[in-house]
Amino acid sequence: MNVHICEVGPRDGLQNAHHLMPTDAKKAWIAALAAAGLREIEVGSFVPPKLIPAMADTAEVVGFAKTIKDLKVVALAPNLKGFQRALDAGAHKVTFPVSASRKHSESNVRMTPEQMVEEVRKCAQFPHPGVEIEGAVSTAFGCTLQGEVPEDDVVRVAVALAEFCDYVCLADTVGYANPAQIKRLFRKVREQIGEKLEAAHLHNTRGLGLANALAAYEEGVRHFDSSLGGLGGCPFAPGASGNVITEDLVFMFEAMGVSTGVDLDKLMVARKLMVSAIPQEPTYGHFALAGVPKGFRAAA
């Protein structure tokens, strides 16, 4: 496998949806995603249910996902309480969103970026044998609340997180990034923290998701977050729309001869399950409309 894809639809996709997906449907969808070859899935977040009702069943969903062989089960947590709940549920990896934008951080987690870094440090010091911790630098490329996010702020947050996180991810939470910016910022951060910088979490708000993913790939990134059908967005960041579309991302890499380990036909089965469970939600994607071109050979 040349590229590793983490499917974030069950968390980032559903948290911003207007309709709730039943728990049994979530489980069937996650099983279908795993059957398509996705080896890492972010299945939910441990946040107050009154804030994001779609995540109220995360502990049960984590428990189910853990029964799927060879699947890394990921959950998001915003604080120590959420981290403890993730550990109790048995998540294999926990992601913490740490915004480089002060306004977004205060809106999203009611903390400044500096306070959030210290919250993650506290979590890293809490016993968590065998559980990976990822620090995701959100709004790294711009913010709908603040506007421009200085690159020095992004580097500073990433360097702080790299002290105690297993991995660091740069996230284009609101889809402001362009390929030149992606290359420049990933290069700057990698110069400071090296291989700790692992993943790109990109949104397709302005149609540049795939272009940005390719730019990150050309900078050496081999781990990508994406969402089936382009579901997603942050409910606390106005204008944040869907993630990079999993099926389009898989097709792009496979067409380039870069193996993702994902079977496109089985991925379409998972997409149908998702659409049938929340038929009112808009979905996106060119591959789903056009299908496989004549003569196409997957790298896998």
Q: What is the pLDDT of residues 179-227, one digit of tens each?
A: 999 999 999 999 999 999 999 999 998 889 999 999 999 999 999 999 9
Q: Which letter, b or e, does each residue of 280-295 get, where b requires 16 or more Cβ atoms within 10 Å of its Cβ?
A: ebebbbebbeeeeeee
Residue 234 falls in the annotated catalytic set: yes
Candidates 6, 123, 143, 234; catalytic one: 234
pTM over 0.85: yes
CA neighbor of 264 nearest in space, from 292, 294, 283? 292
pLDDT score at 293: 94
Q: How far apart are CA 16 and CA 190, in angstroms?
A: 31
pLDDT score at 226: 97
At 250, the amino acid letter reads V
Q: Where are the beta strands (DSSP E) in 118-259?
A: 132-138, 167-171, 197-201, 223-226
Residue 182 in contact with residue 221, Cβ under 8 Å? Answer: no
Q: How far apart are CA 115 and CA 193, in angstroms?
A: 21
Residue 147: DSSP 8-state: B
pLDDT score at 238: 54
